[in-house]
Structure 1
């Protein structure tokens, strides 16, 4: 073995090292841009989230969210359904469709009876940024409980779809059972959930009074008229409250999402 070959074997090529470092830097930068856009979307939920739908991020991840939806009318009226939203690692890139999974047992043609997964493809055949956002997902999730008819081809719960088409009374009975169970288990909190309910206690009245007081003051300034916390008493007042999906104070100036450079999109390919 020659001295030249020994040197080559004993040390890495500087050009290879530089190329690897550049690739890592681009990947890191691309991921940071994606994370920033997620934070912007979440902040925008403060004003854009549909009424009666609450969402909070997991304590250790920007891409996992815990939500609850209060159904105010229709066949599912009175239901308190818990769910999770998970964002793919390449979100918000095109085709990076989020996933929605109900933790509560939901009897619905579009909710898988085994996994609790909600089929989003019927609402978003092609997921396109920036037209589709977290707000779009929450709006679709709420909308399925107010439908007056269902497309059997989109059903993931075939039994529910068949009962709707052939035996409406049995369908309604199963829906009522789903609603009742959600109310019965409203105080059962998952260990990792960031939205947690507790039974009514005297100190909740003090918190509610303070929230209303701050809301009136903020409303007078022309800003958001209510605030929410991660622990929410499950009372009738909550169902009629103006929705705030973020636990942060609203800002008069919101940052704009940053468009991804070409290398940011290709780095995760």
Structure 2
């Protein structure tokens, strides 16, 4: 299934995409794409609904973040060997973990704000993992049993804030609008191998990132298991698993976003995001 949330910011309703690519409203049956609806039994209830009888939603309706109730937005740094190389960093001996504020989360096509004082706002297409069942001390073999599905994440970053401002990475990752997720939460039954997904990102029609989850250093199962040794993962938590090469920081010379730029990004089978960039007032 391709689950989604549609409607005005802060008043989104649950929905899904039917076989013809049309949005269907789930609000008469489902509270939200959150909590118990992300559990295996909740997803099974949604899957059993008669899709063709659900109300159609206008195709022009705004899409919100594809999951609600996210308590943790956890990110993995330097998780693609070719991306580590372009930034001059060594491949880490264990996953690098940092947190992104949940206040960054927004819809897949909502505009992206360059924060005040920013000179180095950057892009990162990433595979997002949405937790569906609480995970604590789970093995790698069990890890994917705790995943509800996958989504596209743009892990926007302000590199000066992240690297040069005497803080940890969270400072440069948590500006407002820096976490578009969606358009859909694609349930894991539709993604037989999360380590075989092509992904790309363009700015103003120029393709900067063109990669694949095949080059992840630590795959999804390993990451979920690893994180669960340090913190419980709950339904609705989102893990952003790292980015392939082609970020602005790694270009020669470095290239960063500016007001008026248009970002477009996609992961195979998970949908596409489109964002207009503007400057904070």
TM-score by shorter chain over 0.5: no
TM value normalised by structure 2: 0.24
TM-score (norm: length of structure 1): 0.24
More helix by share: 1
Max radius of gyration: which structure? 1
